[in-house]
Amino acid sequence: MLVLLYLLVYPYPVGYYGFLDILPLALIALFGLFFASLASANVPAILSEVSLPEHRGTLNSIFNVTDSIGSAFGPTITALFMSIYSFSNTSNSDSMFLGLLTAVLFWIPCAIFWLPASKFYTKEADKIRSILSERVRNT
């Protein structure tokens, strides 16, 4: 989220395309790409670590459906925000900026929703490990 906010408010060097003009953008983009690649793989790993093997297929399918819905809903909601801002007599570029900014700020509630999950994650993972260890001992 911070990377996207930075990229939205960065004063782009219009008309200047030298190496030093584009270097800050390239560095922040690489920084963002690094963290984006970490996040996408972590959710399925977390879900599989806190669920029993017989429930993982169902849980992963629910996650994939909701993730796909979110991938379609995000751009739609962003376009809706842009439209709402354009009706309030702002310029096209300002309505696009404000719509994107509003959409990016929706990551704050998403992070808040993950806080309770992070509180219980280690406890649930340990519980699943002990259940699986017990199953191994009983076989």
For the cut 80, the answer to whether the pLDDT of residue 92 exceeds it is yes
The predicted model gives 43-55 an average pLDDT of: 89
- Pick the more confident residue, 113 or 132: 132
Residue spans of alpha helices (H) in 50-138? 53-87, 92-105, 107-138
Return the pLDDT at 4.
84
Domain spans, the chain: 1-50
- Distance of alpha carbon 122 from alpha carbon 74, whole angstroms: 30
Q: What percent of the chain is predicted at pLDDT more than 90?
A: 40
Return the pLDDT at 117.
83
- What's the pLDDT band for 111 if we cut at 50, 70, 90? confident
Burial of 85 (0-12, 13-18, 19+ CB in 10 A): buried
Is the pTM higher than 0.75? The answer reads: no
Return the pLDDT at 11.
83
**CA atoms lying within 13 Å on the CB side of residue 52:** 9
CB count in 10 Å sphere of residue 50 = 20
For the cut 80, the answer to whether the pLDDT of residue 66 exceeds it is yes
